[in-house]
Amino acid sequence: MTELRSRRARMVDDLAELVSVESPSTDGAATAASARAVADLGTRLLGSPPQRSGAHLVWQHGATRVLLLGHHDTVWPLGTLSAWPFRVDGDRATGPGCFDMKAGLVQLFHALSALPRLDGVSVIVNADEEIGSPTSRVLIEHAARGAHAALVCEPSAGGALKVARKGAARYHLAVAGRAAHAGIEPESGANAGVELAHQVLAIAGLGRGDTTVTPTMLTAGTSENSVPAAARVAIDVRAFDDAELERVHRAVHGLRPVGAGTTLAVRGGVHRPAMPPSTAGAALHRLTRDLAARLGLPAPAGVAVGGASDGNLTAHLGVPTLDGLGPVGGGAHAASEWVDLAAMADRTDLLAALVARLVGDDG
């Protein structure tokens, strides 16, 4: 599989092709177009077209022993590419979605293309990972049942593999008040904005230890001279422990109004369970380090991270899961997003060796 190290130019071209098709999670037409681009790449390199479920793509080669996971949706809105096109500067590529995670897809397909057979290997590339995989979760969980391992080609953490991830929950709190003229009779209103301020402080106080509870998007009011009749806040929760996610869930749903004349409505919940360190995941990490040494590559470290992925879902089912097998780079979800092109072939070689070992086809 050392021939993978000669594929840099092809990999860069493939990455440019995927990045050139914008794919914000909530735009159906965009993710459909992106799915076609990913399907074309996968078909060319794997020799067979995927099964399709909307914009989700599945390649299955017999009963699943090893499941590889990736996603082609991004957090970037349509039009981002016009101001920030794909560019290569030496060993550095930039562009929306290049690191999270279109380079990971390029590495995934090239790695599998180097294997003599794909018996026992399944691939799922979904289109809604960035919003919690609401429609693809059932596909992932179905494919994962009975698998010996799940390998997630999400970006690495500075080259390190991800052996633990926080679970994640999302909530929306809506406050209903009563409008009034802010100059003539503000006292006749019930200020939803003031109520929201009380609730935001209470919500922010729910975090403890490494559990984070973060109020994010806030809105209130309809005009500058009116008492706000409505306000809302989105809430992001992360924890390494499912019991902590449950504690915060009860607390958020148990919030009560402070001000007279206001009411609260909460929706949302846990969308990815925690992926704590596990013996099975540690064994996969050790195997990967051993393979890296045999390939003459640096042995990747293992880290715990705050972001969640579809690896949380497979780990929750008891499937040995190793995450962060994708590109080296940085700046995920930021305008500084970049990929280390010099590392792509080596990471691809390592992934191919790992899959081959897990399916017993490494010679």
Tell me the DSSP string of 192-211.
Answer: HHHHHHHHHHHHHTT-BTTB
Query: Residue 142 CB: number of other CB atoms within 10 A?
Result: 12
Tell me what pLDDT residue 252 has.
98
The mean pLDDT of 328-345, rounded to a whole number, is: 97
Q: Tokens standing for 95?
A: 């562009």
Question: What CATH topology corresponds to 173-272?
Answer: Alpha-Beta Plaits (3.30.70)
Q: Say if residue 1's pLDDT is above 80.
A: no
Average of per-residue pLDDT across 47-76: 97
Residue 226 pLDDT exceeds 90 = yes
The set of catalytic residues is 73, 129
How does pLDDT run across 13-46, given as a tens digit for each residue? 999 999 999 999 999 999 999 999 999 999 999 9
ω into 101 cis (within 30 of 0): yes
C-alpha separations of 286 from 71, 280, 311 in Å:
26, 10, 18
- Residues 105-158: tens digit of each pLDDT: 999 999 999 999 999 999 999 999 999 999 999 999 999 999 999 999 999 999
Q: What is the pLDDT of residue 362?
A: 60
Mean pLDDT over 205-219 rounds to 98
Host H or E run for residue 160: none
**What number is the average pLDDT over the span 186-197?**
98
Residue 242 has a pLDDT of: 97
- Is domain 2-166+275-358 annotated with CATH 3.30.9.10? no
pLDDT at 354 (0 to 100): 98
Encode 316-328: b = buried (16+ Cβ within 10 Å), e = exposed: beebbbbbbbbbb
pLDDT > 70? residue 209: yes
* CA 105, chain centre distance (Å): 13
pLDDT band at 5 (very low <50, low <70, confident <90, very high): confident
Give the CA distances from residue 112 to residues 60, 93, 109, 160, 359, in Å, rounded to whole numbers and listed in that order: 12, 23, 5, 21, 12
Instruction: In the chain, list all ranges with CATH 3.40.630.10.
Output: 2-166+275-358
Q: Predicted confidence band at 363 (pLDDT cuts at 50, 70, 90)?
A: very low
pLDDT at 11 over 50: yes
* Mean pLDDT taken over the chain: 97
| Confidence (pLDDT) at 4 | 83
Structure tokens at 225: 């001279």
Q: Per residue in 248-277, pLDDT tens?
A: 999 999 999 999 999 999 999 999 999 999
Closest by CA to 307, choosing from 166, 208, 131, is 166
Whether residue 67 contacts residue 109, with contact meaning beta carbons closer than 8 Å, is answered with no
The alpha-carbon radius of gyration of the chain (Å, integer) is 23
CATH 3.30.70.360 in the chain, residue ranges: 173-272
